[in-house]
Structure 1
Amino acid sequence: MNSGSTKVVATIAGIIVALSFYFVLLGQRGVALIQDGRAVPVGLGIAVLVLPLLGVWMVFATVRSGLQHQRLAARIREEGLELDVSELPKRPSGKVERDAADELFAQVKSEWEADPDNWRNSYRLARAYDYAGDRGRARETMKRAVALEEAEREA
């Protein structure tokens, strides 16, 4: 693991620890409200207990998704199929310029259309959507890539 990866993992771990502390505090407050026994505090207590449950689910789903994406990224890198954007013109922010990203997207989409059931093509399409700024489609396409890759590993 390189220095940059270590920092990211440490940051994520720190955020999870902080959120865990917050979820425990919320849970304690919810239990205290329920123990009050009156209708309104009990109702509020139940509502407050839902928040840490939702939070735990969101943290779990986000970390799981990130790990799945990293697994696919590693496989793509090993196979030499990463999208090369190093030569594409970039904005001062470091993002690929819109026209270049759209051109890359068109190329990758045609590859995907030729074999849409290949997780590699779906992964590359998701990355192309991301470079083109369409985060919603990037997420949906990455979910497809993860499902296809899992099916391939299980076969």
Structure 2
Amino acid sequence: MIARIGVIVVAAVLALYIALVGQRAWLLLTSGAPVGITMGVLMLLLPVVAAWALWRELSFGVGAQRLGRRLEAEGGLPDEELTLRPSGRPVAAEADALFPAYREAVEQAPDDWRAWYRLGLLYDGSGDRRRARGAVRKAIGLERAARRA
């Protein structure tokens, strides 16, 4: 719940930033000065990029949470219990030892979002956030495609 509140606060601050930069860009665009108009056009790019990034991250979080709840309801979450460090993160060596089985599950069923999601959880457990997010994004895409079919 604390994480969700943090996301809401950060998203609200970013939305405020987007609005304020957009307002300043509009003021520069309507100034009539060539330099002001040029700066206004360039400043319009900032809120567009920020809005895109905010949408992408929020949709990723919602999608990952939805798939996690669905997998939990199906009883498909990993059963392995990993030893946790004082920080709360799993011991990476234990997670690394599980990779062959999870990687093989993805190779056996490359279109199964569940296998990709579990692989993403394992990557996260080993501390590889980039690969974890990539695997979970793949799972979200596969599940979305399956829903549409």
Please confirm whether the aligned pair reaches a TM-score higher than 0.5, indicating the same fold: yes
The number of residue pairs the alignment matches comes to: 149
Residues 1:145 and 2:139 aligned together = yes
1:13-40: CA deviations, max 9, x gaps?
Answer: 2222222222111111111112222222
Aligned counterpart in structure 2 of residue 69 of structure 1, from 59, 64, 87: 64
* 1:52 matched residue in structure 2: 47
Residues 1:20 and 2:15 aligned together = yes
Structure 1 spans left out of the alignment, 5+ residues? none
Question: CA–CA distance in 1 between the matches of 2:137 and 2:13?
Answer: 28
Structure 2 spans left out of the alignment, 5+ residues? none
* 1:37 matched residue in structure 2: 32
Q: Which segments of structure 1 move beyond 6 Å, counting only runs of 4 or more?
A: none
Q: TM-score, normalised by structure 1?
A: 0.86
CA contact under 8 A between 1:108 and 1:125: conserved in structure 2?
yes
Matched AA of 2:89: K
Cα-Cα RMSD? 1.7
Residues 1:115 and 2:119 aligned together = no
| Percent identity for Structure 1 against Structure 2 | 36
SS at match of 2:106: helix
